[in-house]
Amino acid sequence: MARLHTAFSIWLSRITAICVVAGGVALLVFGDKPTIHQLPNGQVVHNRVVVSYWENWTDFEGRAMMHVVNAFNMSQNRIYINTVQVSDLDIKALIAVAGHDPPDIVTLWSRDMGEYVANRALTPLDVLEKQGVVSRRTFVPYVWRLCKPFHHLYALGATPETCALYWNKNLFIKAGLNPDQPPQTIAQLDSMARRLTLFNSSGGIRQIGFLPTIPDWSGWEIMWGIYFGNHLFNRRTGGYQINTPQQRAAYRWYQSFTRRYGRANLEKFQGGFGPFNSPLNPFMSQRVAMEIQGPYFANFINQNAPDMKGRYGVAPFPTSFGRPGAAVFGDCDVWAIPRGARHVKAALTVLKFFIKQKNIEYLCDKQCKPSPLMKVSRAFIRRNPNPFIKLFEKVTKSPNVQLAPMDILWSRVYSELHSCVQHIWAGHSVGRSLARAQRVVDRWQVNLAMLNARQRGERP
C-alpha cells in the first residue's frame, strides 16, 4: 500500500476538498434561482395562492392547455396556476400522494381513475355538484360515469378520446379498393388488409394493411375484446370477464396476424417505425393502410403530413357482432384534485374555470378532440380543425363507449393482461393463456374480498 501513496498524483488537498464542499453548498443555497412566477405579460406575481398543476400534454397539445391556464392567471389576482409538465404522470402523481407531497391539480387518464379512487388518492368534488356547477347533464354519459364512479364526484372531464378507424385512401386506390368504402365487419377488415399488404423482394413486409399492435401504445391490445362483444368488467357482479368466448375469438384473431406474416417479420417491420409525432409515423409515411386511433390523430396528420389532408378517411371501427360503432373503446383525460392537496379551495376555483364551455371548447378544438360536454356550440363544430369532428362527436355521445374498468385491481389486471397478450403474440395457446389470466385475477378478487371482510371485522 505504501507504494500506492507515492504512486498517486496528489491532486486533492484538504483545501480543494473544502472548496468543493463549500462550492456544492453554495450552489445549492445560492445557485437555486428563486422561483419567480410570471404572468404572460411579464408581470411578476405577488401575494397569490400558487396552485401547482401537473399535466402530461406536450407540444401543441400542451400549448393549448397553457393558453387556458394563462387566461385564468390573467382573469383574476388571487390565484396563480403553476403548470408542471410531468411524464409518466399517473405513477408519479400516485407516489407523490403517497409521499405526502401531491400537486393541487392533476390530469389523469381514465384507466387510472379506478385505482386512484379506490386508494382514496383523490379529493371528492361533491361540493361542485351541490353548488350546481356540474350535474349529470353537464358531461356526455361515459365521461360522467368516469367522473362519478362510486356515488361521489372525483374528477371533471377534460378531453375525450374515443377511437375510430383511420384509413389511407391513396393506398386503397392503389390496391384496387373503393377509397370511400371502409370495412364494415372484422372479416372485411381482414380481407382488405390482406390486399393492402405488400412485400419486398427479400420477403420482408413493405406495407401492411392492418395490424392490431399498431399503434404500439401498450394498453390498446388488451382492449380488443370489446370489438368482439366482450365487456372486460361486469359492473353488476364486479367480476372480470377475461376468458369468455368473445375474448377467445378476439385473441385468436389477434394471433392470426403472427401466423399469417411471421412474428419476426412483423417485429422487424415495426422496429423501423419512426416516432409517433413525426413524418416518419407509419400511417403518415404510407406504411400502414388502416389503423385504430383517437381524434387527436388528425392533429398530428395536419402537423406532420399536411399533404395527406383529404387523402384519408375516418369511420367507426368495425365489430365482429354488429355494425361498426356497436362497441367503441373510449378514454378520457380528466382533471382531479389529489388527496392531501394544500390548496383545495383555490384548486376548485381553477377547475370551475377550466370546465367553462368556452375554455373546454378551446382546449378540445386545439387538440382536435370532441367536447366532453353535452352542450356543444355550433362554432366549435365549425371551427374544429379535425375534418371528422362530427363523427367523433357522435361516437363520443354514443352509449356504446366502453371505458377501462373502474376497479381497485385494474392496474394489476392491466399488467397481467398485458403480459397475457404478449404471451399470445409470442405464439402460445389463446385458450390456456386467457384461462390462466382469469384464474390469477379471480384469486386476487377473492383475496381482496377476504381483506375487505377482515378490515370491516376489525373496525368497530
Partner 1 sequence: MSTKKKWLVHLALLLAAVFYVGPLLWMVDTSLKGEHQAMAMPPVWVPHPVRIHKTYYKVVHSPAFDLTLYARNTLIIAILAAAGSVLSSSLVAYSLAKIRWHGRGVLLSVMLASMMIPFPVLMIPLFCVFRNLGWIGTSLPLWAPAFFGVPFFIFLLRQFYLTIPRELSEAAFLDGCSHFGIWWRIMLPLTRPALAVVALFAFVASWNNFLGPLVYLTHQSTFTLSVALQFYQSRSGGTSYNLLMAASTLVILPIVVLFFLAQRTFVRGIATTGLK
Partner 2 sequence: MSRGTPFTTNRAGRRTAEPVRWGDQAAGMLFAAPYLAGVAIFLILPLGMAVYYSFCHYTMLQPPIWTGLQNYIGLLHDQSFRTALINTIVYAAASLPLTLVMSLGLAILLNCPIRGQAVYRTIIFLPSLVPLVAAGVIWGWLLNSDKGLVSYLLAPVLHTAGGLLAAAASWAGAGRDTVTALQRLAPPVWLADPHWAMPVIIFLGLWSIGQTVVIFLAGLQDIPHELYEAAELDGAGALQRLRHVTLPMLSPVIFFNLIMGIIGSWQVFDLPYVMTQGGPDKSTLFYSMYVFSAGMEQLRMGPACAMAMVQLFIILLLTALAFWSAKRWVHYT
Partner whose footprint covers residue 342, from partner 1, partner 2, none (CB < 5 to 8 Å by kind): none
d(CA 294, CA 44): 39
Q: Does 206 bind partner 2 (CB under 8 A)?
A: no
When binding is defined by CB under 8 A, the residue of 70, 82, 85, 119 that contacts partner 2 is 119
d(CA 1, CA 7): 10
117-176 residues in contact with partner 1 (CB under 8 A) are none
Q: Does 425 bind partner 2 (CB under 8 A)?
A: yes
265-324 residues in contact with partner 2 (CB under 8 A) are 267-272
Min dist. Cβ of residue 106 to partner 2 (A): 15
415, containing H or E segment:
helix 410-425
CB of 110 closer than 8 Å to CB of 405: no
- Sorted by sequence, the CB contacts under 8 Å of residue 412 that are 6+ apart come out as 444
Partner whose footprint covers residue 41, from partner 1, partner 2, none (CB < 5 to 8 Å by kind): none
Q: Does 93 bind partner 2 (CB under 8 A)?
A: no
Partner whose footprint covers residue 36, from partner 1, partner 2, none (CB < 5 to 8 Å by kind): none
Question: Which one of the spans 124-132, 230-238, 267-275, 322-330 is the region binding partner 1 (CB under 8 A)?
Answer: 267-275
Q: How many residues in the chain?
A: 460
Residue with cell 507515492: 6
d(CA 322, CA 358): 37
CB of 245 closer than 8 Å to CB of 231: no
Q: Does 120 bind partner 2 (CB under 8 A)?
A: yes
d(CA 396, CA 160): 7
234: its cell numbers: 361486469
Question: Which one of the spans 62-70, 140-148, 320-328, 446-454 is the region binding partner 2 (CB under 8 A)?
Answer: 446-454
Q: Which amino acid is at 35?
A: T
Quote the DSSP letter at residue 274.
Answer: -
Partner whose footprint covers residue 96, from partner 1, partner 2, none (CB < 5 to 8 Å by kind): partner 1
Partner whose footprint covers residue 339, from partner 1, partner 2, none (CB < 5 to 8 Å by kind): partner 2
Alpha helices in 160-311 (DSSP H): 169-174, 186-195, 245-261, 263-271, 297-304
Q: What is each CA distance from 339 to 98, 119, 336, 418, in whole angstroms? A: 9, 10, 9, 29
Partner whose footprint covers residue 458, from partner 2, partner 1, none (CB < 5 to 8 Å by kind): partner 2
Q: Is 45 helix (H, G, I), strand (E, B) or coil?
A: coil
Min dist. Cβ of residue 120 to partner 2 (A): 6
- Phi/psi at 186 (5° precision): -65, -35
Residues that bind partner 1 (CB under 8 A): 1-2, 4-5, 7-14, 17, 20-21, 23-25, 27-28, 31, 56, 58-59, 62, 84-88, 92, 95-96, 98-101, 217, 272, 274-278, 280
Contacts to partner 2 by CB under 8 A: 91, 94-95, 97-99, 119-121, 203, 263-264, 267-272, 339, 411-412, 415-416, 419, 422-423, 425-426, 436, 440, 443, 447, 451, 454-455, 458
